[in-house]
A = this chain, B = another copy of it.
C-alpha cells in the first residue's frame, strides 16, 4: 500500500509466514523458535509485531471466516431457486478455499484448546448452518433428493469441499486447474460419480 517493497515485517506479512508453518507442523506443533527461523528474525522480534502465537492464529482464522461469510452476501447466494443458490455457494466456497488456502486450512484444523479456537469453531458452525438451511429449501422445492437428511447431506458436501485443503496446491501458472477442480466438485456433489 504505502511501500511497494517492504524489507521489515508488518503483522500482515509475518502472518503469511506463520500460517505456512502452522499448516506444515500443526499449530500446537509449532514453537516460536520454528516461527523465528522461518521468518528469519529472532523469537523476541516477533513479539514486537504481535502479542504472541495466539494472536497470529486469531488473525488467520478471522481472515478465513471473512472470506466464507462474504459468499453468503453475494448476489448469487440470494437470488433464484434454492438449488441454484446452493450450487453457487458450493462453487464459491471451493473457490474461496483455494484462494485463501492456508488461512482456511488453519481454520478447518482448530481443535478447541484455546478460546480463539473455540470462537473459530463456533463461527464455522454458523456458516454450515446457513448452508444447511439452503439445502433444506432446495429439498422442499423438490430439486434435491429427499431420502438423505439435510444436515447429513450438508456435512458430506462440506466434507468433500473442505478435503481440498489436504491435497490442493496452487499451480504455478494459470488457474486452469483450479477451475477444473471447482467443476469436479460441483459435478460430483450434484450428480455423483456414476456415468
Contacts and interface: CB of A to CB of B under 8 A. Distances in A.
What is the copy number of this chain in the assembly? 2
A9 B110 CA distance: 31
A16 to B, nearest CB: 20
Chain B CB within 10 Å, residue with most, of A143, A152, A155, A156: A156
Interface in A1-54: 24-26, 28-29
A81 interface: no
Contacts of A180: 149, 152
Interface residues of A, number: 44
Nearest to A192: B192
A153 B192 CA distance: 10
Interface in A150-191: 152-153, 155-164, 166-167, 180-181, 183-185, 187-191
16 contacts: A26-B111, A135-B193, A142-B195, A143-B194, A143-B195, A145-B191, A145-B195, A146-B195, A149-B184, A152-B184, A153-B184, A155-B163, A158-B163, A159-B164, A190-B194, A191-B192
